[in-house]
Amino acid sequence: TGSGGFLWGIAGGTTIGLPPIYHHATEEVKRRVIPGCLRGEKVCCLCITEPTAGSDVANLKATAKLDGDHYVLNGEKKWITNGIYADYFTVAVRTGSPGSAHKGLSMLLIERDSSPGITTSKMDCMGVWPSGTTYIEFDNVKVPKKNVVGKVGDGFKQIMYNFNHERWMLAAQASRLARTCVEESLRYARKRMTFGKHLIEHQVIQHKIGEMARQCEGLQAWLENVTFQMNTMSKEEQNRKLGGHIALLKLSSSRVAEFCASNAMQVLGGAGYTRSGKGTKVERIYREVKAYAIPGGSEEIMLNLAAGQFGFVTRRAPDPRDKVIKHLKEELKRVQSKM
């Protein structure tokens, strides 16, 4: 289709919102949620990003406070794929103290039909229009304790592991969209006549399409290599070894897609600038490339993550004085508490 919006509208939210349920929820929750989603009768979405925290997951502010046999959820989520369509919300929340950073995060399953206090508003975005990008408000939403996904306090780990799958999915989509740009460029260049010959006969156009194809082939080979490893490694080994590689794959895929969309736009000229006719797919992909460069971890975050996992970043060696300073601070607090 040459449409990221179509892909995301069909299953974008469920593809990333359901895996935490599949891997970590109780058997009762799995039986209740998974079948309807896989049949396409229900929609699930993943709620991590907030107005003030996206890639910086440890600084999420939405809170869930335990009150008897349920949690009370308050907070906001933003840029949530399929949120306006969703029946289920897999939500990252802070169940620990505000200063607990990533250690205080948990995942909860919210069910729209039985959870008053949820407000969803569609956001108008640059691309992927059918995806239902959503701003969500949770106002004193009661969540049964049985809807905790996995263990309380394990949310950060679950989010990080889920990112590998999400980024692989985005890389596969971006790779296909980049290839679509090559196909559309070839189709147009073989028919369009300029200066008495077909556009494809001009060497400068041949170079553009050749460079696009070169990058697509390299990306496809890398994608298939990582996919093979994901299908042969255990889940634990994947999480331990592939995070940095998948991050770089996701980064490369968005840059190749952006390069191909830009060059396809130049090949098609005015036709590529028009939201109809021969340039429909190229114009749409050009608007949607940033939906692959930013969501799921921005390009900048992907580089930082890979550098850290591959050991490119040198960390400061422990300073013996740190322990002394820490001890003095604790002693000061102890003395102040007695005053």
Query: Is it the case that residue 322 has pLDDT exceeding 90?
Result: no
Query: Is it the case that residue 280 has pLDDT exceeding 80?
Result: yes
Query: Is it the case that residue 61 has pLDDT exceeding 80?
Result: yes
pLDDT value of residue 81:
96
Instruction: Output 115 or 56, whichever has higher pLDDT.
Output: 115
pLDDT value of residue 265:
97
pTM over 0.75: yes
Phi and psi (nearest 5°) for 124? -90, 115
pLDDT value of residue 334:
77
Mean pLDDT of 172-189: 97
Burial tier of 72 (Cβ tally within 10 Å: 0-12, 13-18, 19+): middle
pLDDT value of residue 236:
87
Query: Is it the case that residue 279 has pLDDT exceeding 90?
Result: yes
Mean pLDDT of 111-126: 95
Mean pLDDT of 270-283: 95
Q: Which residues pair with 94 in a beta bridge?
A: 63, 105
- For 298, the token pair is 């921005």
Which pLDDT band, with edges at 50, 70 and 90, does 189 fall under? very high
3-state DSSP: the chain helix, strand, coil percent, rounded to 5?
60, 15, 25
Query: Is it the case that residue 312 has pLDDT exceeding 70?
Result: no
Judge whether 122 and 84 are in contact, CB under 8 Å. Answer: yes
Tell me how crowded residue 330 is: count the other CB atoms within 10 A of its CB. Answer: 10
What one-letter code names the amino acid at 74?
A: N
Which pLDDT band, with edges at 50, 70 and 90, does 59 fall under? confident
Residues 6+ away with beta carbon under 8 Å from 175: 216, 219, 220, 223, 253, 256, 257
